């Protein structure tokens, strides 16, 4: 086996990661790569991170194209010297064995383990025609580079791939390219998209929106939380006039925190006084935090993510406002790091900006509680805000949760 051949594998980011979806290959077969330069982007557990090349050489093969998922440690690409033969590479692929998941910490470590005699989870086969379509469009000699989920989306929208210009690497057709083409056609010929309403005998073909790695990760987490955590809920109304007055004073002084910023700041001051609420559940016992590490829910077009504001109890209101703005920007730009979503002791979710009066939230494991914030109702004479605390009854009793809400209410209503 040639020592000049290196494996590119699905990395492991975090204990709970079991698979990753290839978001984008930043290099194409035949491109030269240097060790440590960004090679591809992998999406998993609500984030997209760049994977660096584990060795220098030439990217000889891509075994898992963009849009496809692979298990942690599975082989997705081959880097080798230009003079390495195809037979050597075939032999490397055939003998590759994925390392145990707890050893697959990153692509570099996995690459060094690829040639070992570690027992395999599954050998990774050479790429097949189903991995990514490279068939030429009718009337065109250029290959169509498109992942299976995006191809299915194009079929569901009735978008022809012929002449469609892809904006991805090497002309790969991305989801936004297909949606843009469908939207453009709708503007020019709306009757083509749907049958006439008079055709009562027909059946609508629903549009297929493939699940992303983010949605699959959220689904797994919510199923786990709903199944394992015995939830109960406490609801309390808060006089919101002090909050409104405080925000008005700060706006006059040149700063403009949101109501949510004020609530996060107040919650951070109260949480350390309630160790059972500011905690994680574990089989060995309650993992109580001395400081507030608050996950704040941020909505995107695709999903709701909750990056963590760490040591929030040590932050001034100005710092809270600034750091939350930075986290929201990073969520929007998909620049969250693999540690930004871990280690929270508590979660706050606010739907007040949508006019929602009150709601309940599912606790994110292993946390023991989460706070749902509704809209402020009324006027300057009588403004009310409803807070709903979701509690894990294994760790939090009713009186314990009520005491936390009582203290938070007192802080929010203070001048």
Query: Do residues 53 and 25 touch, judged by C-beta distance below 8 A?
Result: no
Query: Do residues 41 and 107 touch, judged by C-beta distance below 8 A?
Result: no
- The answer to whether the peptide bond before residue 370 is cis (omega within 30 degrees of 0) is no
Residues of the chain under the 50 pLDDT cut? 1-2, 102-141, 186-199
For residues 311 and 232, membership in a common domain is answered with yes
For residues 191 and 311, membership in a common domain is answered with no
**Residue 77 domain-assigned?**
yes
DSSP string, 198-248: T-TT----PPP-PPPHHHHHHHHHHHHHHHH--EEEEEEEEE-HHHHHHHH
For residues 302 and 359, membership in a common domain is answered with yes
Query: Do residues 237 and 386 touch, judged by C-beta distance below 8 A?
Result: yes
Question: What sections of 253-393 are H helices per DSSP?
Answer: 259-270, 317-332
Q: How far is residue 255's CA from residue 371's CA, in Å, rounded to a whole number?
A: 26
How many degrees, rounded to 5, is the angle at CA 309 between CA 306 and CA 310?
130
Query: Do residues 388 and 358 touch, judged by C-beta distance below 8 A?
Result: yes
**Residue 95 domain-assigned?**
yes
**Residue 141 domain-assigned?**
yes
The CATH number of residue 250's host domain is: 3.30.559.10
- pLDDT value, residue 311: 97
Long-range contacts at 188-195 (CB < 8 A, ≥ 24 apart): 192/158, 193/158
For residues 330 and 285, membership in a common domain is answered with yes
- pLDDT value, residue 50: 80
Q: Which of 153, 179, 210 is the last residue of a domain?
A: 210
- pLDDT value, residue 15: 63
Q: Which of 60, 83, 113 is the last residue of a domain?
A: 113
Greatest CA separation found in the chain? 80
Q: Which of 113, 147, 172 is the last residue of a domain?
A: 113
Phi, psi at residue 237, to the nearest 5°? Answer: -90, 145
For residues 269 and 382, membership in a common domain is answered with yes
**Residue 281 domain-assigned?**
yes
Q: Which helix (H) or strand (E) holds 287?
A: strand 285-288
For residues 219 and 198, membership in a common domain is answered with no
**Residue 378 domain-assigned?**
yes
**Residue 195 domain-assigned?**
yes
Residue 40 CB partners (closer than 8 Å, separation 6+): 8, 22, 23, 24, 25, 26, 27, 50, 51, 76, 77
DSSP state of 168: S
**Residue 118 domain-assigned?**
no
The CATH number of residue 45's host domain is: 2.40.50.100
**Residue 126 domain-assigned?**
no
- pLDDT value, residue 66: 85
**Tens digits of per-residue pLDDT, 111-145?**
333 333 322 222 333 333 333 444 444 344 455 66
For residues 244 and 181, membership in a common domain is answered with no
Domain count across the chain: 3
Residue 308 CB partners (closer than 8 Å, separation 6+): 293, 294, 295, 296, 340, 341, 342, 343, 344
For residues 303 and 344, membership in a common domain is answered with yes
The CATH number of residue 201's host domain is: 4.10.320.10
For residues 193 and 328, membership in a common domain is answered with no
For residues 104 and 146, membership in a common domain is answered with no
- pLDDT value, residue 14: 67
Query: By residue range, what is the domain housing residue 69?
Result: 5-113
For residues 248 and 381, membership in a common domain is answered with yes
Could you give the count of Cα atoms lying within 13 Å of 91 in the half-sphere of its Cβ?
10
Q: How far is residue 50's CA from residue 32's CA, in Å, rounded to a whole number?
A: 18
For residues 391 and 295, membership in a common domain is answered with yes
């Amino acid at each position: 086996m040639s020592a000049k051949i290196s494996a590119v594998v699905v990395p492991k980011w975090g204990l709970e990661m079991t698979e990753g979806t290839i978001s984008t290959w930043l290099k194409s077969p035949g491109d030269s790569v240097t060790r440590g330069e960004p090679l591809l982007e992998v999406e998993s557990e609500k984030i997209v991170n760049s994977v660096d090349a584990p060795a220098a050489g030439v990217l000889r093969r891509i075994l898992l194209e963009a849009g496809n998922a692979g298990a942690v440690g599975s082989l997705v690409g081959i880097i080798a010297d230009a003079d390495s033969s195809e037979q050597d590479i075939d032999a490397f692929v055939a003998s590759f064995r994925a390392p145990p998941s707890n050893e697959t910490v990153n692509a570099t470590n996995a690459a060094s383990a690829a040639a070992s005699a570690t027992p395999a989870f599954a050998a990774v086969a050479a790429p097949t025609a189903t991995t990514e379509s490279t068939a030429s469009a009718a009337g065109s000699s250029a290959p169509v580079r498109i992942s299976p989920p995006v191809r299915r989306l194009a079929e569901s929208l009735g978008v022809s791939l012929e002449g469609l210009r892809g904006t991805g690497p090497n002309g790969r057709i991305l989801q936004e390219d297909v949606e843009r083409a469908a939207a453009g056609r709708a503007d020019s010929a709306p009757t083509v998209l749907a049958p006439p309403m008079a055709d009562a005998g027909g059946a609508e073909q629903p549009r297929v929106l493939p699940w992303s790695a983010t949605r699959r990760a959220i689904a797994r987490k919510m199923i786990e939380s709903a199944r394992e955590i015995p939830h109960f809920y406490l609801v309390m109304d808060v006089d919101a006039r002090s909050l409104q007055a405080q925000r008005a004073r700060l706006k006059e002084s040149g700063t403009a925190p949101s109501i949510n910023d004020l609530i996060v700041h107040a919650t951070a001051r109260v949480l350390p006084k309630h160790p059972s609420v500011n905690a994680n559940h574990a089989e060995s016992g309650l993992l109580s935090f001395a400081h507030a590490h608050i996950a704040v829910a941020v909505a995107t077009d695709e999903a709701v993510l909750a990056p963590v504001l760490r040591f929030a109890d040590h932050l001034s209101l100005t710092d809270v406002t600034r750091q939350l703005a930075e986290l929201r920007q990073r969520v929007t730009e998909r620049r969250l790091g693999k540690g930004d979503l871990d280690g929270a002791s508590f979660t706050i979710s606010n739907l007040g900006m949508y006019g929602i009066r009150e709601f309940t939230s599912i606790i994110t494991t292993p946390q023991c509680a989460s706070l749902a914030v509704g809209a402020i109702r009324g006027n300057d004479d009588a403004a009310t805000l409803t807070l709903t605390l979701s509690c894990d009854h294994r760790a939090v009793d009713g009186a314990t949760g009520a005491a936390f809400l009582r203290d938070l209410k007192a802080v929010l209503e203070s001048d």
